[in-house]
Amino acid sequence: MIHLFYSHKGGSGTTVTAAATALALARSSGRAVLIDLCGDAPAALGMAEPPGPGINEWLDQDSTADGESLLLLGSSADNGLVVIHQGCDRVNGNPRWSDLTDVLLSLPMSVVIDAGTRPLPPEMHERSQRSLLVTRPCYMSLRRAINGQRPDGIVLIEEPGRALTSKDIASVLSLPVVANIPFESAISRAVDAGLLASRLPQLLQRHLPLG
């Protein structure tokens, strides 16, 4: 199953949400894969920056790499989670998005994609079993989301002092809010200390969109 996380505005919490979801899925089922399309997953998980090629090299127009080669690019994070990092900054030619989707759908494990703000073709959204927009209750983010790719649901990062509520977000976008994740200092401290993988906060895990 492919869980695709993305946002329309940087700093929305997409990487932490995607990484935490991948960790939780790996712990519950024994193995999961996190595809890091925006380059922030290693830092969020407290991993050393992986050397060598990554997903962008695999996506190169002239690449002939297959599914086995994709998994060999991964680094072990924690309890069965394999992280396939971004690699180089850009893809040469037209990315092999269709090939990537075919491979990910064939894997016998949960796959989480952290797309961040990277634009993906409609096919990736349509063929992912869950396409989730991560957003804060922010007017600017909502403006971009209204005109952007339609997800299956919304993951709302709740912040104290915001005027917009979960009901407001669902109403404006005409989409269900599938998870409300509180903006808590315990979560920030775990990420800042590089301990998200080893000490996934229970507060965060309770609110993740795992279904």
* Mean pLDDT, range 50-54, rounded to an integer: 89
Contact 111, 26 (CB under 8 A): no
Spatial distance between the Cα atoms of 6 and 83, rounded to a whole number of angstroms: 17
Residues 6 or more apart in contact with residue 206 via CB below 8 angstroms: none
Q: Which CATH number is associated with domain 2-205? A: 3.40.50.300
- Note the helical H segments in 61-182: 67-72, 97-106, 122-127, 139-146, 166-173
Helices vs. strands in the chain: H and E counts, helices first: 10, 8
- 85 DSSP assignment: -
Write down the pLDDT at residue 77. 85
110-135: average pLDDT: 94
Query: What residue ranges do the domains of the chain occupy?
Result: 2-205
Whether 17 contacts 112, CB under 8 Å: no
Do 134 and 4 touch, CB atoms closer than 8 A?
Answer: no
End-to-end Cα spacing for the chain: 11
Confidence bin at 201 (pLDDT 50/70/90): low
**Confidence check: pLDDT of 199 > 70:** yes
CA dihedral of 123, 126, 128, 132, whole degrees rounded to 10: 110
